[in-house]
Amino acid sequence: MWIGVRQRFRRFHEELRLSADQIDDGLGKQLGVRKSLHRAYYDETTETPRGFIVGSWGKETAIAPPSDVDIFFELPTAVYHRIETYQGNKQSALLQEVRGHLLTTYPQSSIRGDGQVVIVGFNSVAIEVVPAFRYDNNGRFYMPDTNDGGRWKLVDPQAEIAFLEAADRNSNGNARAMAQMLKTWKRECNVPLKSYQIELLVAEFMTSYENRYYDYYWYDWFMRDFFAWLCTKAWANLTIPGTFELVNLGNDWLSKAQTARDRALTACSHEYNDYTILAGEEWQKIFGNRIPIHVL
């Protein structure tokens, strides 16, 4: 029984991994953006500019093809005090200032401020820049949020990375793989959950999941059990690591989770009976054609 599961999910996971060229491209572009801002705000040229990678690249959960690389860029404290003297939406003013500096380096690129980030729209992959001010020496920062008149938002990106890393270590490397696969479900089925929410949900689930140490042979059950668990999380709060901010999940995504749960149940039944093609067809309804139908 279950003769196709291990091969199916191993190939699926391999299909999602970034290629060496994609990694080099993303790393090179984010480094160039950080160098540009370092010159603008610190008046020096360096190969080791301020800032660091966050988001899915920082957590090692990015999937191919990559859409963006998220980075934090630490600004001098003096910039914060200067921006605080402005009238109106100070955070929007900061994003526009950062955008202006980047346009000097990348005049042919589409660059725009959007809510909390400045997006540099390169052809192959976008770089999303969070201009941030160090709040303390424990890894927390203030970042701009232009919504609702503007505010400074306290964040701890390294704590979010560490939270997923701990869950991954505690699950034999399965938490990151699960997050990557579930991000593919998000893309394929237009699920209204944010990537960081999926990562936090996976980390929470895998921390106590009884089968978390097993390999790809168990991934049909991983998916079945995760979707069933996810369906119980409507209107639940997620706690953001480091700042302990509560984010409510709402339930806009619930019907898609219920559909995925039901399809996973059907797929698991087919896998049990070694109806590998029928199982593959069900999995593709969840994850699209990146998970194979034919595995033997």
- The residues with which 112 forms a beta bridge, in sequence order, are 119
- At residue 235, what are phi and psi to the nearest 5 degrees? 65, 10
Residue percentage of the chain with pLDDT more than 90:
98
Closest listed residue to residue 18, CA positions, set 58, 60, 55: 60
Is residue 104 within 8 A of residue 113, CB to CB? The reply is: no
**Alpha carbon distance 217, 119 (integer Å):** 40
| Strand ranges for the chain from DSSP E | 52-54, 68-74, 110-114, 117-121, 126-134, 141-145, 151-155, 237-239, 246-248
Pick the CATH number of 20-155 from 3.30.460.80, 3.30.460.90, 3.10.150.10, 3.30.70.20: 3.30.460.90
Give me the half-sphere count of Cα atoms (radius 13 Å) on the Cβ side of residue 38: 16
**Mean pLDDT confidence for 192-208:** 96
Mean pLDDT score of the chain, rounded to an integer? 96
pLDDT value at 1 more than 90: no
Look at residue 114 in the predicted model and tell me its pLDDT.
Answer: 87
Give this prediction's pTM: 0.94
pLDDT digits 0-9 by tens, 236-271 = 999 999 999 999 999 999 999 999 999 999 999 999
pLDDT value at 103 more than 90: yes
Look at residue 25 in the predicted model and tell me its pLDDT.
Answer: 98
pLDDT value at 59 more than 90: yes
**Mean pLDDT confidence for 167-193:** 97
pLDDT digits 0-9 by tens, 8-45 = 999 999 999 999 999 999 999 999 999 999 999 999 99
Look at residue 269 in the predicted model and tell me its pLDDT.
Answer: 98
Give me the half-sphere count of Cα atoms (radius 13 Å) on the Cβ side of residue 153: 20
Look at residue 213 in the predicted model and tell me its pLDDT.
Answer: 97
Which amino acid does the sequence have at 286? Answer: I
pLDDT value at 296 more than 90: no
- The residues with which 126 forms a beta bridge, in sequence order, are 68, 121
Q: Which ranges of 89-218 does DSSP label H, i.e. alpha helix?
A: 90-105, 157-169, 174-189, 195-208
**Mean pLDDT confidence for 153-176:** 96
pLDDT value at 50 more than 90: yes
**Mean pLDDT confidence for 155-180:** 96
pLDDT value at 174 more than 90: yes
pLDDT digits 0-9 by tens, 119-149 = 999 999 999 999 999 999 999 999 999 999 9
Look at residue 39 in the predicted model and tell me its pLDDT.
Answer: 98
* Angle subtended at Cα 194 by Cα 193 and Cα 199, rounded to the nearest 5 degrees: 100
